[in-house]
């Protein structure tokens, strides 16, 4: 998405060093490994910043003429390297990262066991290394999160996704769109729930990543 992730994503210490204004910096989820189990909330963001992680996206699209401190950063040797990258060469201006959106939730693109769906209470943005989930009108996020943990949905993920080498599991955008999500209350008798759990474990063994 950015054309040069290391240039466009800064650590808080780097942003302070260059005196970059807060209004051009967006906290971003760059990788699925960042995601907590349930929710990217303010406490999670504060910890990322305290750990000086490279999570601040330089977002200059639609911001008008960059401030002097931003221009200084855009004039470095690292900026020149970024400007020559394929994506930056083919957009105007080269430093305006496109399609920066705030999703309702994040869905892991690749995972070690099962795809993770995480709420976005802190209103962060994300790179294209994770899926940005935007809900349709009338669909409530708590309902979706509960449905995602349902064994029917978990089995559907195993059917639609595919394994990679090294024990990784990948869920492409089209595969995620085909995943069955039981949004209505769907209680299961113990026997049926056990059958679904067994089917999930069978699929994981069959796909050689469990």
**CA contacts within 13 A on the Cβ side of 134:** 5
Residue 16 has pLDDT above 80, yes or no: yes
Q: Which range is most confident: 27-31, 168-172, 198-202?
A: 27-31
Task: Parse the chain into domains and list their residue ranges.
Answer: 1-134, 136-210
Q: Structure pTM?
A: 0.84
Q: Is the peptide bond before 72 cis (omega within 30 degrees of 0)?
A: no
Residue 150 has a pLDDT of 83
Residue 210 has pLDDT above 60, yes or no: no
> 3-class SS at 57?
strand
Distance CA 98, CA 60 (A): 9
Q: Please give the backbone phi and psi of residue 4, each rounded to the nearest 5 degrees, phi first.
A: -160, 95
Share of the chain above pLDDT 70, in %: 90
Helices and strands in the chain, H and E counts: 10, 10
Q: Average pLDDT over the chain, rounded to whole?
A: 87
- The predicted-structure confidence for 129-165, as pLDDT tens digits, reads as follows 899 999 998 889 999 998 888 888 888 887 787 777 6
> 3-class SS at 163?
strand
Q: Is the peptide bond before 93 cis (omega within 30 degrees of 0)?
A: yes
Residue 60 has a pLDDT of 95
- The predicted-structure confidence for 96-105, as pLDDT tens digits, reads as follows 999 899 999 9
Residue 117 has pLDDT above 60, yes or no: yes
């Amino acid at each position: 998405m950015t054309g040069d992730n290391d240039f466009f994503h800064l650590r808080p210490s780097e942003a302070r060093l260059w005196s970059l204004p807060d209004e051009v910096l967006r906290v971003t989820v760059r990788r699925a490994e960042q995601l907590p189990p349930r929710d990217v909330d303010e406490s999670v963001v504060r910890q990322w910043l305290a750990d000086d992680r490279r999570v601040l996206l330089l977002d200059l699209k639609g911001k008008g003429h960059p401030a002097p401190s931003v221009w200084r950063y855009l004039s470095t040797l690292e900026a020149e390297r970024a400007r020559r990258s394929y994506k930056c060469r083919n957009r105007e201006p080269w430093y305006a990262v496109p399609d920066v959106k705030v999703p309702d939730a994040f869905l892991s693109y690749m995972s070690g066991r099962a795809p993770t769906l995480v709420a976005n209470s802190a209103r962060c943005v994300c790179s294209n290394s994770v899926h940005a989930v935007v809900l349709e009108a009338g669909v409530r996020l708590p309902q979706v999160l509960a449905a995602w943990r349902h064994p029917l949905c978990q089995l559907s993920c195993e059917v639609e996704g595919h394994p990679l080498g090294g024990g990784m599991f990948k869920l492409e955008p089209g595969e995620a769109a085909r995943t069955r999500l039981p949004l209505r209350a769907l209680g299961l008798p113990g026997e049926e729930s056990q059958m679904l759990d067994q089917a999930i474990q069978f699929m994981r063994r069959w796909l050689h990543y469990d």
